[in-house]
Amino acid sequence: MYLWGEAYMNKNEEILGQDIKKSLPKNVRQIGEVHNGQRIYMEDYAYTYLHQFAAHNKKEEQISFLIGEQTILDDERILLIHGAVQGMSLKREDGNVEITDETWSNVHDIRKQYFSNYEIIGWAYTQPGYGVLLTSFLIKQHVDYFNQEGKVLLILDPIEKEEVFFQLNDGELVQKSGFFIYYEKNIEMHEYMLEYKVVQDSIFEPHVDEAVVHFRLKDQEKKEAQYHKRFVNMLFALSGALVIMCILIGIGLLNNLEEMNRLKKSFGAVMEDYGVLKNGLSEEVIGETSNEREKETMNLNATDKIPEGTVAENTPELPVTEANSNIDEDLEPENEEVVEAAAVENVEIKPKVPKTYIVKTGDNLITISYQFYSTKEMVAQIQEINDIDNPNKIYIGQTLLLPQ
């Protein structure tokens, strides 16, 4: 609907003024000549349905009702026909068709159901083979049921393919020389047409307006072109999004590759540092072991020069007494001193082993075994007494028990 607002009417339901809110239809096609005064606009669905209804029975008269609205724009009365409804429960007498109370009741029910925002603004009369002659019977019917200023009568002849509007002006039905057909989305009329379908008479071919067909084809082509344009734009947008996504993925892969190379270099440097550290620790362990051995040798050499009494105090009890007991008591004192000196020289002097040892930097069980026992054979016993499964798993500051 293109026009809406408040209408100001007198007691005879004549429109005195209206607050116009919207413009006239722009997608229109003119039929005949249109002069100044009241202009009539009929929606394409309603126009098509009227001709189908007129053509489906070309043997007798029929009545239909026009649904729409009227307003005033720039001091000109505008009539918009939005829908068309079949006349039912009609009275046929002497070749004429008359409107009954039941007909009115049915029309008003359909208007409320499908066209609740519109009013009955006229009617259409089909008279096959009689042209568009306005008879006294039609004038009487219009005055009886449509006696309001501006309401219209459309006479159709489906055989002669003629049509003409008459409009009530100053109490008289005046013929109109032309009108407009406009095109817009008409959901109400479409739903009504689906419910009240018109079955064409197989004897007569339906009227086809080539101008209407051409206009509809052009409108359809325009819609298809717009759809194609939107579809192409959508494809371009989608392609652009895919290109951007591929670029971002490529940048991400390059960044990941650079990060992997950096990590690889860092890992290589760490491994090199680890190798250097490992070699340094090994050299330190070997150096400390050599130093300990040198210290032990020096201690042993120093022990040989310690007085006899001191040696006896710092060394474990030796079987010297037994050796001396086997010597003849009758030996002279000089010989006894020589024998004792020889025995002391032949005894293996062992270092004193502490009960515990605290692990230091560079220590392992082999170096500890060499340090206190001068052999690596004690490693197993050190593991056993300290409940160590892996001989390589000791830590700095760990307290180890030493076998005695």
Out of 193, 208, 223, pick the residue that ends a domain: 208
Q: Summarize pLDDT for 118-157 with one digit per residue, the tens.
A: 999 999 999 999 899 999 999 999 999 998 888 999 999 9
The answer to whether residues 187 and 224 belong to one domain is no
pLDDT in the model for residue 316: 44
52 within a domain of the structure (yes/no): yes
The answer to whether residues 197 and 250 belong to one domain is no
The answer to whether residues 233 and 183 belong to one domain is no
- Sorted by sequence, the CB contacts under 8 Å of residue 298 that are 6+ apart come out as none
The answer to whether residues 164 and 23 belong to one domain is yes
Q: pTM, whole model, 2 decimals? A: 0.47
The answer to whether residues 118 and 191 belong to one domain is yes
Overall domain count for the chain: 3
Quote the CA–CA distance of 160 and 49 in Å, as a whole number.
18
The range of the structural domain enclosing residue 379 comes to 350-404
The one-letter amino acid code at 96 reads N
Using DSSP, state whether 357 is helix, strand or coil: strand
357 within a domain of the structure (yes/no): yes
Joined tokens for residue 331 = 């030996």
pLDDT in the model for residue 228: 79
Give every residue of the chain whose pLDDT is below 50, as ranges.
1-13, 15-21, 200-208, 300, 302-348
pLDDT in the model for residue 308: 46
153 within a domain of the structure (yes/no): yes
Quote the CA–CA distance of 290 and 296 in Å, as a whole number.
10
2 within a domain of the structure (yes/no): no
